[in-house]
A and B are shown apart, each in its own frame.
Chain A
Amino acid sequence: MLILTAFIIAALVVVAQIAGQRRAATLAGDEPQSLHSRPIYHGLKSALWTGLVGFSILIVASVVSRQLIDTQLRASLPTDVQGYADIKKDRLISDAKAVGDGDIVSAPLDEGYKTARDALAQDYLGLKTLREWGISIGTVLASLAALFLTYRGIHRESRARNSSERIIRGGLFVSAGIAILTTIGILFSLLGETIKFFSNVPFYKFLFGTHWSPLSGVFEGVVDENTVGAIPLFAGTFMITGIAMLVAVPIGLMAAVYLSDYASPRVRAWAKPLLEILAGIPTVVYGFFAAITVAPLIRGSGEALGLSVASESALAAGFVMGIMIIPFISSLSDDVINAVPQSLRDGSYGLGATKSETITKVVLPAALPGIVSAVLLGISRAVGETMIVVMAAGQGANLTWNPLEAVTTVTVQIVALITGDTEADTAAGPAFALGFTLLCITLILNMFALRIVQKYRMRYE
């Protein structure tokens, strides 16, 4: 219903554009220069106002009326259920809504509950119909009014271009603001659950506890504070990230050095796109590669050497993640190595330094801040990477230093908690708390990296 309304408004917008344009053109007659603005802007102004009024009323009314319905339902609870606990009231209301919407509902607790629920569902249905019709008719009328007023307002001197440009500029600003809205959305969505989680669990138990199995010992939706120690996850993330960086940093850096200072243009023309392909491969493909090809290989060669290797070893996940990060490190390092001025290289060559001496003693030290920031960004990438570890690392929290054993990571646990069979409300707490931690780590790394790059830029510009 509401979606249909949205389509109607969209159609009205088109009508407004065409009608406005026509009317302006008719007004101008044979003297197009007599108009202050070109007809298209008159149409645009009318269309923008129609859409703006219609869609904003639709959204605001939907939100507000939804809240109103909830308040109304709560107020009209039958007297015999007024004694229910709040949590039970919430459930009653949501069950009633589900009945009204025709969704699947869990079995009623008792007979009283059922009658109350069904009565409430009737109320809800009435309110729902009222809401949908009310909103639909209201918004369409408002849009029509906007259309009509703007249409009437079209005359030769009206500054339609200026006013429609103002609206467009506002739209541009709002678009730019969506980035901020997204950030706020991320913070609030994570913080809400995280704060709820930490109201039950002291944060030090989470940050420094060494036992992780959040879904064991759940009592009435409250997790046991002794089973949510995230240290094994941090350790696992740290180990896999470390292995990845051991693979990615030397290879990525040396590849960047070779491609920028040694390789012939032909080699560069070949190797750079290949590295870009490596960067463009989806992580789920890396995950498949890690789980199906690399892990059995590592396990097999480990057994040939007489080592016991878990089939979901940290080594396999870390190694493949390293391959994934190679192009990241190499392209970022390439940029900073190329940014080192040629005059420094000339100065070194002029003193009779070889290429490798120039690179290791002059170019790389000069590019060091940029390289450090590339590595930090690489680490932040590795920490937040999900699919490779979900597919190739373990599920069980295991505190170990042995890269041949299975470890689990923060991201793996988030996925396991959210996609698992547990009731969403119980799993959300630890999952969002982990997500918040992850966000903090990556943001701090990113801030550091950007700060370093900014400082470095100032030095050469």
Chain B
Amino acid sequence: MDQTSHQSAKPGAPSVHRTSAAQGRLKKRYRIEAWFKACGMLAVGLACAALIWLLSSVVGKAVGGMTETYITLPVTFDKAEIDPKGSGDPKVIRGGNFSGLIKTSLRGAFPFIKKRRDKLALYKLTSNGAELELRHRAMNDPSIIGTTQTIRLLASDDVDLYVKGYEGELRTLAHSGTATPVGMSGNVKVRVDANAFQAALEKAKEELRRKADALRQQAQREERAIGVFEGRIKALPDDANPDLRSQYESRITAYKSRRDTLMRNAQEFEKRANTDGGRELLSPSLPSYFVFINGGVIKVETVSPNMIEGQALVPLSSEVPAGATDWQLKVNPTSESGRRIGDKQATWIEVLRANGKVETNFNWRFFTASDSREAETAGIWSSAAGSFWTMLITFFLSFPIGVAAAIYLEQFAPKNRITDFIEVNINNLAAVPSIVFGLLGLAVIIEFIGNDIFGEQLRSTALAGGIVLALMSLPTIIIASRAAIKAVPPSIKEAALGVGASNEQAVFHHVLPLAMPGILTGTIIAMAQALGETAPLLMIGMVAFITEVPTSPLDNASVLPVQIFRWSDFPERAFEMRTAAAILVLLVFLVIMNTIAVLLRKRFERRW
């Protein structure tokens, strides 16, 4: 390339940037530009989507935890069970057999339940919490002993879930024809003069087809095995051991017979599935079908187009034929094996529900109760109180010390090695993992300061937790406070010094008040972080199961995030919902704190 080609074109001649090649390159560059921009948008979109996903997942799960279910039943406060001598002494009443009262009352609601196993299932409808409430009621007002009261009993968590529809909802199916029941309890048949059960039968047939498919797949595996051994026989040299050959052949025969059986069964199933009518079994892995007729409920076990047969979970009042509008066919699309609550219990709940005895209320208990091993009675009050004490300690330690340190470093510290060292130290402390602060708390605060120096048991206390979190928040507060102090122009301090104020007076009277909004903003943000902190508190034993509400920083306590951690470990679905609800409460606190910080910043933000 010679030198002249780089010289600018003479006026009028096209520039190198306007040739068609340049235009082509330009197009390509713009494609890259658009692609790059799209990547940026995608990144922002993904980050926001992650946030929305997280929040919606929490909120979605928390919704179920914000309500609780009650069963309203008449309960007789039997004197013999509670206070046989009529002493009215709370200590005697406390020992009363209140669970017996509830059991009696439940049996009264379902007089037809006779089998022991069924009774045990029945008793599981209510929670232990209901028993505690009865006890409280009787202790507070002994006069109700001997009377019968209509009382809202707290339902167990499984019932709660079922009522809220997490275990499948019962739907009524369209049908026609008059139904004639045969039998009133135990095994009952219902005959209909129309093909009312065709849909249920189809479900059973689908199941047959699935089974047939599974059998065919098994058969195919046998077939492959046959192929393998036939290959081996072929590969055998002519002078091979005849025993081996016959051994292989016998294996093949066995495989063949197994394959044929499998295929026969499959064909049999398919034939049953493909012919109209017939009578099929409804397995527990299929949706549950119920027939509501003459005041009774029948769980469908076998089905044909116009007849079903099954157990009467609630006995019928008569064998009178029922017209098309007088009986119902209902289905729960969730199979019994996929539910925590069986068909029997579900039916009893449905009966109670139909009588208006089941209600779902806002779960105030969640905010006022302490921790519990049972989801329906568990609440966050004790851990919220623990959080309160912990934050109190954290604030009163970290705020003054942090601000004092910031003032010293910004306004008084000489520029020397010690100051530099402190600065480096603070920056490094900000990056130390929180769990290491937990280890510090364990070794220094609990073992050394607590046990060795003061002889106080600090393990699991809000005091120890508060100290650890205070040490953790210190760097954040110091860094934020220094920035706020630095932002106050030196002219203000100079003005104060100019009228004869001492250095300290200038700082405390002029610089500090002006820096305060910034300092408070930083402190609130640090407090919000501390409020959500979990790991260091695990180290100092705040994971204990605390049912007492702590009343001082020296009581054993848990905190909200730790409770969330503990609950999330419980397998029950009801706990999952309460965990999500507790997270929601924590997030609400954090949002409030951060909003205050933002408002403070906006309100007092000053540009010098």
A residues apposed to B, CB below 8 Å: 2, 59, 62-63, 66, 101, 103, 128, 161-162, 165, 168-169, 171-173, 175-180, 182-183, 185-186, 188-190, 192-193, 250-255, 257-259, 262-263, 267, 271, 274-278, 280-289, 291-293, 323, 326-327, 330, 352, 354-357, 359-360, 377, 380, 383-387, 390-391, 411, 414-415, 418-419, 431-432, 435, 438-439, 442-443, 445-447, 450
Contact = CB atoms under 8 A, between A and B. Distances in A.
Interface stretch (B325-333, B352-360, B400-408): B400-408
B44 A284 contact: no
A281 B58 CA distance: 12
Contact of B504 (A62, A165, A384, A418): A165
Contacts of A435: 435-436, 439
Given A62-B454, A173-B408, A274-B48, A282 B43 contact: no
A327 B47 contact: yes
Nearest to B563: A284
B487 interface: no
Given A172-B405, A287-B568, 16 more contacts: A172-B407, A179-B475, A180-B425, A186-B437, A258-B40, A267-B44, A278-B50, A278-B51, A285-B532, A287-B565, A288-B564, A384-B434, A390-B565, A391-B568, A432-B443, A438-B435
Contacts of A359: 36
A282 B455 contact: no
Contact of B44 (A189, A192, A263): A263
Nearest 10 Cβ contacts at the A-B interface: A384-B433, A282-B532, A258-B40, A189-B443, A254-B43, A175-B404, A386-B535, A356-B36, A172-B408, A446-B431
A255 B583 contact: no
Interface stretch (B26-34, B161-169, B229-237, B489-497): B26-34
Interface stretch (B139-147, B181-189, B586-594): B586-594
A184 to B, nearest CB: 10
A114 to B, nearest CB: 23
Contacts of A323: 47, 50, 54
Interface of B: 17, 29-30, 32-33, 36-37, 39-44, 46-48, 50-51, 53-54, 57-58, 61, 400-402, 404-405, 407-409, 412-413, 421-422, 425-429, 431-440, 442-444, 448, 452-455, 457, 471, 474-475, 478, 502-504, 528-529, 531-535, 538-539, 541, 543, 561-562, 564-565, 568-569, 576, 579-580, 583, 586-587, 590, 594
A251 to B, nearest CB: 5
A330 B50 CA distance: 14
Contacts of A190: 436, 439-440, 443
Contact of B47 (A186, A274, A293, A383): A274
Given A282-B532, A323-B50, A435-B439, A179 B478 contact: yes
A206 to B, nearest CB: 17
Chain B interface SS verdict (over half): helix
A206 B500 CA distance: 64
A431 B36 CA distance: 46
Contact of B426 (A179, A193, A447): A179
A193 B29 contact: no
A414 B439 contact: yes
A190 B441 CA distance: 11
Contact of A179 (B44, B425, B438, B448): B425
Given A182-B429, A285-B58, A391-B568, A176 B408 contact: yes
Contacts of B586: 282, 285
Contacts of B54: 281, 285-286, 289, 293, 323
B432 A186 contact: yes
A251 B532 contact: no
Given A179-B405, A442-B433, A447-B428, A275 B47 contact: yes
Given A277-B51, A292-B576, A414-B439, A251 B43 contact: yes
Contact of B409 (A176, A254, A276, A352): A176
Residue of B44, B413, B535, B541 with most chain A CB atoms under a 10 A cut-off = B44
B471 to A, nearest CB: 5
Contacts of B40: 254-255, 257-258, 262
